[in-house]
Chain A
Amino acid sequence: MPGWRSLFPVDLAEESHLSRREFGRFMALVAAGFTAGIGYLQLRRRPLNGASAAPGAAPLDAPAQLKVCRAEDLAPANSFLFTYRDPQDRCVLIRTASGEWRAYRQTCTHLGCAVRWDGKGLQCPCHAGYFEVEQGFPVQGPPTRPLSRLAVELRPDGWLWVTGELPRPGAPEARS
């Protein structure tokens, strides 16, 4: 009898769709696969979709500090786009109207669209999410978590440097 015949038995009784043992084995394999996948991602230590990783967990090939642009090249209420850890890690450097520097990852914390600077805040065009510029908290639309924020440093030579990732702030006092 050919081997494939066991998969297509003539007898109705042998044609069980799935035994309890097979189901358990399948679930165990799926769980093991997920565990291995999560372990691999943990070992790889790369942020997913530009989400913030723990500070200091940058991969070896990505610079922890990055020279972005000269300070005088960025007028107030303007932005400058750059990539930080890798070409897919898209970020935005902002000079606020009051002259302060902010840098955020462009990844919206809702579904990952790229947010953009509109002169007052960061707007996500996909679902009309909106983030305030001071700490990156969501103020409108579906996002519930703040943007991933980067530390900006103005060095004496007039260049702006991104020097790492800031920990995510807790929920603001005003938002309850």
Chain B
Amino acid sequence: MVSGEYGFFIDPQRCIGCRSCVAACAECGTHRGHSMIHLDEVDRLASTQTGPTVCMHCEDPICAMSCPADAIKRSEDGVVHASQKPRCIACQNCELSCPFGVPMVLPGLEQMLKCDLCYDRTSLGQRPMCATVCPSQALLFAPRHEVAGMRASQPLREFQIGSLRVKTRNAIMVPDPGTPLNLDAGLLCDGGF
């Protein structure tokens, strides 16, 4: 069981796009050989900014809500796990419903896999693979009370996606965490994408 004191913090401002996390994720024992991290280049022509996307582990996991096979479960510590192999029917509902675009139904495997916070490690008190290798600490697994004093940015765990308010276990570090971060894709489209 992952200690509730520890949180996972994603700071895109610190990401240098080295892809160490992508490589390390594929080493995780629960999904060995498959990396569960998406590393996105935000606007490659204009910026070197990159952003890692890992599962946010929602308090009301939409992927699990949309799963018709009851294959996605959340453990007591708030970690939303990858689908259970005997149940998953690879329908991709979770892929379509996740507001962060995290779950992946792997071709050939016919099963949804996603970040499970390296449960084999974090349940024993170790850090997830990605957090151990990230050179700029853009991915950080640390006690929540320590993070506030470590960074200028502060953790945000509440997001507004359309009419949906999503609270998560993992946090994104933002300069001004006062209001829920609006992740409406429609706004991005209007902005010129």
Chain A residues with a Cβ under 8 A of chain B? 8, 10-13, 15
Contact = CB atoms under 8 A, between A and B. Distances in A.
B73 interface: yes
Interface string B63-88: 01100001011111000010000000
Interface of B: 60-61, 64-65, 70, 72-76, 81
B64 A13 contact: no
A12 B73 contact: yes
Contacts, number: 20
Contacts of A8: 70
The residue among A8, A10, A12, A13 with the most chain B CB atoms within 10 A of its own CB is: A10
Contacts of B75: 11-13
Contacts of B64: 10
Contacts of B81: 12
B76 A10 contact: no
A10 B75 CA distance: 9
A62 B75 CA distance: 66
A8 B61 CA distance: 13
List the 9 closest pairs (A to B, CB-CB), nearest first: A12-B73, A8-B70, A10-B64, A12-B75, A13-B76, A10-B74, A11-B74, A10-B61, A12-B74
Nearest to B78: A11
Contacts of A10: 60-61, 64-65, 72-74
A14 to B, nearest CB: 10
Nearest to B58: A10
Contacts of A13: 75-76
A114 B60 CA distance: 65
A12 B74 CA distance: 6
Contacts of B70: 8
Nearest to B75: A12
A99 to B, nearest CB: 72
20 contacts: A8-B70, A10-B60, A10-B61, A10-B64, A10-B65, A10-B72, A10-B73, A10-B74, A11-B73, A11-B74, A11-B75, A11-B76, A12-B73, A12-B74, A12-B75, A12-B76, A12-B81, A13-B75, A13-B76, A15-B73
B31 to A, nearest CB: 18
A36 B61 CA distance: 46
A104 B176 CA distance: 96
A15 B76 CA distance: 12
A136 to B, nearest CB: 56
Nearest to B70: A8
A13 B73 CA distance: 9
A13 B70 CA distance: 14
A10 B60 CA distance: 8
A13 B74 CA distance: 8
A103 B81 CA distance: 72
A13 B64 CA distance: 15
A10 B57 CA distance: 12
B62 to A, nearest CB: 10
